Each structure stands twice: as C-alpha cells, then as structure tokens.
C-alpha cells in the first residue's frame, strides 16, 4: 500500500535466535507489518565490523536467522526481506556519506568507545568499525525509511542517521531523504538461565528452535531466588528469573498462584518450573512446526530472499539515481 509509512530494521547474522531476540525485537517486527510497509534485512557486512578476523559461517547464520524470522511470523507477502551484501548500492551510498560525515560525529558515538572496551580481545581500531554508523545510515536512508524499530542500544545510531540525512539534504539542496524516527521497542529484558541478560556469548540462552526436551532441561536448571535454599523457605518471586518468564508465558491466575506460592513456600521451585515448561513449550510449538516445514523447503527460502532482494534493489537503485543527480556525479 503506497500511503503507508515505511519502517526498516536489520539484525546481524548471529544464527539461531533466542527468546530475548524474539520478545525484544522480532515480535515487534511482526506486529509492525499490520501498519507499515516493512523492510527487514540481514546486516552481514556489519558482522564484519567486529568479526573481520574470524567471520565464521555468515551464510549459514543468515539462513538460520531468516528461517527464524519467517517461523515467527514475518510474512514475505507483506515485508521485503533481503540481504545487505546483495544490494551493492548500500556500499556506494556508504562511500558517498563517508565524504560528508565529520569524524567528530563518529568519534563521540557512545557505542564506539563502549564496544571497543567491552570487546577488548578484538582490535577494533579499524576504519570499518569507526564507520559502522555510516553504513547503518546508508542502510536506512537508501530506502527512505520513516521509522527504525530498534532497542535502546541502537538509538545513538539512529540519531547519527538523522544528522547525516539532514546534512546530505542541506549540502546538496535536496529533499531526497526523510529524517527517520527511532521507534523504541519497549520490551522487558529477558534474563538468561543464569539471571544475566540473555546472550549467546554468555551461553545462557533458550533458542526459539530448542526441542521440548531442551526447553525442559534448560528451565529445570534455571536460576531461582538464591535465598530460597530449602523447599520450605519462603522466596521472593521478583528476584527469580523463572518468575520473569511466568509473567510473559503464563496466565494471570498461574502468575498469581506461583507468586503467592513462592512467598509462602506453598509451591516448590520444581513444581513452579513445571508450569512454566509446559507454557513455554506450547507457546513455541507453532513456531517450531512452521520452522520444520520451512527448513525442508530449500528452494522456498531461496525464492523468498531472491524476491526480497529484487524489491530492495529496485528501491535502492531509484534512490541512488537521485543521489548521483543531486551531487552531480
């Protein structure tokens, strides 16, 4: 529908997605399909900004991730699903934006310094890493997107994108680029099995595609209230990761039952987890079933990506015509 506003977002190809990704981003992407014209892509070039020395299986990870997207409800009829590195125009726009982006904007980007410190076993003193947000800006504005659904950590990048879009329009007296809004995804941070943020690098994830058996085993060893040592000690549900999951997966009466039971030592952790296991399994079942069908249809997945790439390429090529004309190149 032509009158719909356009949103665009991307994920780096990390492979199979976990429940943090599902509730933190993907469910929101699925919902946005009702309201917006949606572009969703695999940011495989971005994966190289930090992992250039050992890229790993980017193609395999891309495939796994797109399968998860489709299983969770991204609909290729309504969303343009594509791969960044297949649309070479992103690289051309990235180069041109590099000409107009002041170094100071990049150097003061908070995630630049933070990540360099956090990922200190990798050498991130590279041109590509500093330019990460310029590539991200190109990804966004080449589709003339109006909104960018992201988590809080990505807002500085959207802010930079806005500045870069404005600067381009100003310098070349053009109105090619809308200034996009960050659409902050309000999602509770889902704890991992050990109570820290769920993250592949911590090895504390439940994956969307985990089997019933794996889900059962993982939740069985999930951390609970550490103060509640014995069965008849009362506990505090609010400090237990298990309860954070109940809030997301269980019915209001079950939530009430386990919260009260925990506080009064009326229910044991094993029993409380049993309820959760049942609910997580039944909620993920339709996603897993869809995934099994999609996995066996190799041609089908290829066709989805080819079709998305073709649509994205048309849009990107049209924007680049305008960009070259505005610059006079």
Task: Establish if 13 lies at the interface with ligand TRP (CB under 6 A).
Answer: no
Task: Establish if 43 lies at the interface with ligand TRP (CB under 6 A).
Answer: yes
**Owner of token pair 């050498």:** 123
Identify the residue among 22, 93, 148, 259 touching ligand TRP (CB under 6 A).
148
**Owner of token pair 């209001």:** 252
DSSP tally for the chain: helices H, then strands E: 15, 5
Task: Establish if 136 lies at the interface with ligand TRP (CB under 6 A).
Answer: yes
CB atoms near residue 260 (< 10 Å):
12
Identify the residue among 46, 90, 218, 273 touching ligand TRP (CB under 6 A).
46
CA 272 to chain centre: 30
Task: Establish if 18 lies at the interface with ligand TRP (CB under 6 A).
Answer: no
- Report the C-alpha dihedral over residues 35, 289, 70, 46, rounded to 10 degrees: 130
Give the C-alpha distances (Å, rounded to integers) separating 293 from 42, 223, 301: 22, 34, 11
Residue 158 C-beta: closest distance to ligand TRP, Å:
8
Task: Establish if 90 lies at the interface with ligand TRP (CB under 6 A).
Answer: no
For ligand TRP (CB under 6 A), the number of binding residues is 14
Which region among 136-144, 200-208, 239-247, 316-324 touches ligand TRP (by CB under 6 A)?
A: 136-144
**If you write DSSP's letter for every residue of 140-184 in order, what string do you get?**
HHTTT-SEEEE-GGGHHHHHHHHHHHHHHHHHTT------PEEEE
Residue 161 C-beta: closest distance to ligand TRP, Å:
8
3-class DSSP assignment, residue 6: strand
- Contact string (CB under 6 A) for ligand TRP, positions 243-282, x = contact: ----------------------------------------
Task: Establish if 74 lies at the interface with ligand TRP (CB under 6 A).
Answer: no
Task: Establish if 30 lies at the interface with ligand TRP (CB under 6 A).
Answer: no
- Report the C-alpha dihedral over residues 26, 31, 32, 36, rounded to 10 degrees: 140
Residue 111 C-beta: closest distance to ligand TRP, Å:
9
* 105 half-sphere exposure, CB direction, 13 A CA radius: 21
Task: Establish if 185 lies at the interface with ligand TRP (CB under 6 A).
Answer: no
What part of residues 157-176 is at the interface with ligand TRP (CB under 6 A)?
A: 157
Task: Establish if 146 lies at the interface with ligand TRP (CB under 6 A).
Answer: no
CB atoms near residue 61 (< 10 Å):
19
Task: Establish if 150 lies at the interface with ligand TRP (CB under 6 A).
Answer: yes
Residue closer to ligand TRP, measured from CB, 31 or 260? 31
Q: CA nearest 17: which of 65, 62, 73?
A: 65
Which region among 2-10, 99-107, 201-209, 296-304 touches ligand TRP (by CB under 6 A)?
A: 2-10
The footprint of ligand TRP (CB under 6 A) covers 8-12, 43, 46, 136, 139-140, 148, 150, 154, 157
């Amino acid at each position: 529908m032509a009158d719909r506003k356009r949103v665009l977002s991307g994920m780096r190809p990390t492979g199979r997605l976990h429940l943090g990704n599902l509730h933190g981003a993907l469910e929101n992407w699925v919902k946005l399909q009702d309201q917006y014209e949606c572009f969703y892509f695999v940011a495989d070039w971005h994966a190289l900004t930090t992992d250039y020395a050992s890229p790993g299986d980017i193609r395999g990870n891309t495939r796994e991730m797109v399968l998860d997207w489709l299983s969770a409800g991204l609909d290729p009829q309504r969303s343009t699903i594509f791969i960044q590195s297949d649309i070479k125009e992103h690289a051309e726009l990235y180069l041109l934006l590099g000409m107009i982006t002041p170094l100071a904007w990049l150097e003061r980007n908070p995630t630049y310094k933070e990540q360099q410190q956090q990922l200190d076993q990798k050498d991130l003193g590279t041109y590509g890493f500093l330019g990460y947000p310029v590539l991200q800006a190109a990804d966004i504005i080449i589709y003339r997107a109006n909104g960018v659904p992201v988590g809080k950590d990505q807002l500085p990048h959207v802010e930079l994108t806005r500045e870069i879009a404005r600067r381009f329009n100003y310098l070349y007296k053009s109105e090619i680029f809308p200034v996009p809004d960050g659409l902050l995804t309000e999602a509770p941070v889902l704890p991992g099995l050990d109570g820290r943020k769920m993250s592949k690098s911590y090895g504390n994830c439940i994956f969307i595609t985990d089997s019933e058996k794996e889900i059962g085993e993982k939740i069985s060893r999930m951390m609970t209230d550490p103060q509640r040592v014995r069965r008849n000690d009362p506990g505090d549900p609010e400090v237990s990761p298990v309860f954070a999951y109940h809030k997301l997966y269980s019915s209001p009466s079950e939530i009430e039952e386990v919260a009260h039971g925990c506080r009064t030592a009326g229910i044991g952790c094993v029993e409380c987890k049993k309820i959760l296991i049942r609910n997580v399994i039944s909620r993920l079942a339709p996603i897993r079933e869809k995934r099994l069908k999609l996995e066996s249809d190799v041609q089908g997945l290829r066709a989805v990506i080819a079709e998305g790439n073709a649509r994205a390429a048309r849009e990107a090529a049209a924007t680049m015509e305008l960009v070259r004309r505005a610059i006079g190149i």
